[in-house]
Chain A
Amino acid sequence: MNFIALDYADLAIAALLVVLNGALSIALRLGLERQLAIATARMIVQLLLVGVVLTTLFSIVSPTWTALAALAMVLFAGREIMARQERRLKGFWAYGLGTSCMLVAASLVTIFALLTQLQADPWYHPRYTLPLLGMILGNTMTGISLGLDTLTTALVRDRGAIEAQLMLGATRREALLPATRAALRSALMPIVNSMAATGLVSLPGMMTGQILAGVDPVEAVKYQLLIMFLIAGGTALGAITAVIAAGYRLTDARHRLRLDRLGPARDGI
């Protein structure tokens, strides 16, 4: 493999483009320069830190530290799911439900890939585990947030229709079916769209990254296909478990709709 290494002077020259953005923002009074500066600084610090952390993890190849890094990623992604809900479940469930479904779905799919397709040595080698998990998590997270948000919105909006069915003797499963379907559709739509568009509209980042690193394009494509299949599986698994679990949480064993277990709508989502 041969690739062109970058030195910091190269990056500084490229960063001039961001400085140009800032100058534009000041000239046109967009008021974005402060946010732009903070975002750029955050990106630089976060990515440099990740680089250092990954280098360390790759050199020690410890199952414990790899698992801890993976857990930290899941916990951050869980916070992201919670932040994207217009109405959150009350109590621990607001964070716990999405996070635990994501944890199960993403780790199952990642371990599946590590054990069957990749077969690294050792199988938990962080060089494979963490990037794989990261890509699966990012998409599963989006799927679960969309699914939960669509479900809770539909339950609040269609409360009358759902309770009307319950009053006439429908089970909670029957009464929630339309809302559950809508939630799963919106959870799976992004991955379906991105599978359809990939290669034509967009060249996936991981694939282009491998090509830049000197990998044969056909080999890079094979990796990308693997990732897309894993993402599709992880997203579906995570979204289905999260939406069904939330449906159970928002009803009870006496087949009542329990919107009292849902917090108030929040602005600014």
Chain B
Amino acid sequence: MLSVRDLHRPGLLDASFDLADRECVAVRGPSGAGKSLLLRAIADLDLNDGVVTLDDRSRADMPAPQWRRLVTYVPAEPGWWAETVGGHFPDWSGAASLVDALSLPAASRDWPIARLSTGERQRFALIRALLLRPRVLLLDEPTSGLDPEGAAAVERLVADHLALGNSAIWVTHDAEQAGRVAARSLAVDHGRLTEASR
């Protein structure tokens, strides 16, 4: 279980909530409301205060890289450090089934990053994160660049991740998607987080 208590950072007021195993919670709110800031703060990527624990282990008690392998942020516009897709996957064969599940060809290993579409980037970034087998996925509009079939494939992969006993926080603009992937919604507005009624 992920537990967030009094999480605070510039642009985000004290946020507190719990996320059970096998649960996905949707985060909704207008652009610039602080949704990405919330996810970045949970992943400890920016300066922030607050107590965040995973399975009763505080993130303050473990090195940040270890925390980020357990609670992994997948940004809406992922970054790339190598020239080709394959350069981001130390073990491409291990990624094969996920690549296939997201309707990407096996030959995409040699694709240059510069030529990828937004949707392709988002799918590779999700695969990259899933390969770490994180306990919690922090998804920042992971299907904004995808067509409905692509989005459905991503939703299936995240459902598989949940079925293994893991959890996810899913930022989305799409009310229907929020209803499909999550039983619960949090609303962010002006940096304030509230449990959304639905």
Q: Is the CB of A168 within 8 A of B129?
A: yes
| Residues of chain A lying within 8 A (CB to CB) of residue B44 | 254, 256
A72 / chain B contacts, CB cutoff of 8 Å: none
Which residue on chain B has the smallest CB distance to residue A167? B73
Which of B16-24, B77-85, B143-151, B159-167 lies at the interface? Answer: B77-85
The total of chain A residues at the interface (CB under 8 A) is 19
In the assembled complex, B45 has its CB within 8 A of some CB on chain A:
yes
Do B78 and A164 have beta carbons less than 8 Å apart? yes
**Those of A255-269 within 8 Å (CB) of chain B:** 255-256, 260
Contact B66 A169 (CB under 8 A): yes
Q: Does A163 contact B (CB under 8 A)?
A: yes
Q: Is the CB of A178 within 8 A of B68?
A: no
Q: Select A178's contact among B46, B73, B78, B81, beta carbons within 8 Å.
A: B81
Complex alpha-carbon distance, A169 and B65, angstroms:
4
In the complex, chain B residues whose CB is within 8 Å of the CB of A256? 44-47, 64
Residue in chain B with minimal CB distance to A175 = B81
Q: How large is the interface on B (under 10, 10 to 19, 20 to 34, 35 or more residues)?
A: 20 to 34
- How far is B52's CA from A230's CA once the two chains are assembled, in angstroms? 52
| Interfacial residues of chain B within 152-198, with CB under 8 A of chain A in the complex | none
Q: Chain A CB within 10 Å — which of B43, B81, B129 has the most?
A: B81
Interface presence of A212 (CB below 8 A): no
**Known contacts A169-B132, A256-B44; A164 and B65 CB within 8 A of each other:** no
Q: Which of A142-162 contact B (CB under 8 A)?
A: 158-162
B94 at the interface (CB under 8 A from A): no
For the complex, give the distance between the alpha carbons of A169 and B77 in Å: 18
Q: Which B residue sits closest to A159, measured CB to CB?
A: B79
Is B36 close to A, CB under 8 A?
A: no
The reply to whether B81 and A167 contact each other, CB–CB distance below 8 Å, is no
How far in angstroms is the closest Cβ of chain B from A256?
6
Interface residue? A166 (CB, 8 A)? yes
Contacts known (A168-B69, A169-B66); A163 close to B129, Cβ less than 8 A? no
Q: Which residue of A lies closest to B82 (CB)?
A: A161
7 interchain residue pairs of minimum CB distance: A160-B79, A164-B79, A169-B69, A161-B81, A255-B64, A254-B64, A169-B65
In the complex, 22 of the A-B residue pairs with CB atoms within 8 angstroms, ordered by the A residue number, are A159-B79, A161-B80, A161-B81, A162-B79, A162-B81, A164-B81, A165-B79, A166-B45, A167-B73, A167-B75, A168-B68, A168-B129, A168-B132, A169-B65, A169-B72, A169-B132, A254-B44, A254-B64, A255-B63, A255-B64, A255-B68, A256-B46
